[in-house]
Amino acid sequence: MRLYAAVAVSGFRRHATYRVATAAGVFTNTVFGFILAYTFIALWDERPHLGGYDQGQALTFVWVGQALLAAVSLMGGGFEQELQERIRNGDIAVDLYRPADLQLWWLSADLGRAGFQLLGRGVVPLAAGALCFELTLPTAPLRWLLFLCAVTLAVVVGFALRYLMALGAFWLLDNAGVLMVGQLLSLFFSGMLLPLTVFPGTFGDVAQALPWAAVFQVPVDVLLGRYAGTGLAGALGFQAGWAALLLALGRLTQARATRKAVVQGG
């Protein structure tokens, strides 16, 4: 286990070296936050309590969203490009020669990356949002702790989804399209563009049951205090369930891939 802790630390440090990229990311997240915030204000002025949120909660949704965007890798920027490229050019062979588990290795590295991006790209945009708008952030430390648990599970679910898609490169020589579709799906079905609770009927129900909901909608709702008691346990269980299922699916695919597919290049 110490190996994977070391891998996570190296993932953190790797991303910490790119300071300019981090600053640019913080700037983008903040600007985006403002644009989305004013859009949401216009929406909620027209339709108060849309999706069951008041305006303060809706704005919190926006800014927490910008703070989490990089950490849960909703718009890419995680490990998946690198993994896919390593499969494509055959460097994956190097990873397979190691006495380490491929999936655990990349998961640890991605958790390290997420840890850095939660701090490096999360704190400033959220602070900017809290200064300029009236957000309904909780004061109870326990709520923040639960939020952190939910975010960790969200990172794992996000990882498991992208891991599966990146493994597609074992079968498709050009896997870029798969990742692109994955990104679009995650951006919408995570609730990043609009809270999933806004959508009515069956579509809304289905959207809230998909794994992408576990990546973003659920942790924000945990922070907003929309779950209590067994509901809270259910929400975290929903995330954990998807995480377990997708990780298992990833392992299965990985086993098939390494057994059947040709490792590219000589």
8 vs 224, which CB is nearer to another protein? 8
17 vs 230, which CB is nearer to another protein? 17
Among residues 41, 43, 50, 93, which is the contact residue for another protein, using CB under 8 A? 93
Q: Judged by CB under 8 A, does residue 28 bind another protein?
A: no
Q: Judged by CB under 8 A, does residue 13 bind another protein?
A: yes
First to last CA, the chain: 32
Q: Judged by CB under 8 A, does residue 87 bind another protein?
A: no
CB of 265 to another protein, least distance (A): 8
What is the DSSP code string of the chain? -HHHHHHHHHHHHHHHT-HHHHHHHHHHHHHHHHHHHHHHHHHHHHSTTGGG--HHHHHHHHHHHHHHTTTTTTTS-SSHHHHHHHHHHSTHHHHHTSSS-HHHHHHHHHHHHHHHHHHHTTHHHHHHHHHHS-------HHHHHHHHHHHHHHHHHHHHHHHHHHHGGGT-S--HHHHHHHHHHHHHHTTSSS-GGGS-HHHHHHHHHSHHHHHTHHHHHHHHT---THHHHHHHHHHHHHHHHHHHHHHHHHHHHHHHSPPP--
CB of 14 to another protein, least distance (A): 5
Q: Judged by CB under 8 A, does residue 104 bind another protein?
A: no
Among residues 48, 98, 184, 256, which is the contact residue for another protein, using CB under 8 A? 98
Q: Judged by CB under 8 A, does residue 3 bind another protein?
A: yes
Q: Judged by CB under 8 A, does residue 85 bind another protein?
A: no
11 vs 195, which CB is nearer to another protein? 11
Of residues 247 through 266, those in contact with another protein by CB under 8 A are 258-259, 262-263, 266
**b/e per residue, 17-29, with b = 16+ CB within 10 A?**
eeeeebeebbeeb
Q: Judged by CB under 8 A, does residue 97 bind another protein?
A: yes
99 vs 200, which CB is nearer to another protein? 99
Among residues 28, 43, 91, 188, which is the contact residue for another protein, using CB under 8 A? 91
Among residues 43, 100, 187, 193, which is the contact residue for another protein, using CB under 8 A? 100
Binding site for another protein (CB under 8 A): 2-3, 6-7, 10, 13-14, 17, 90-91, 93-94, 96-100, 258-259, 262-263, 266
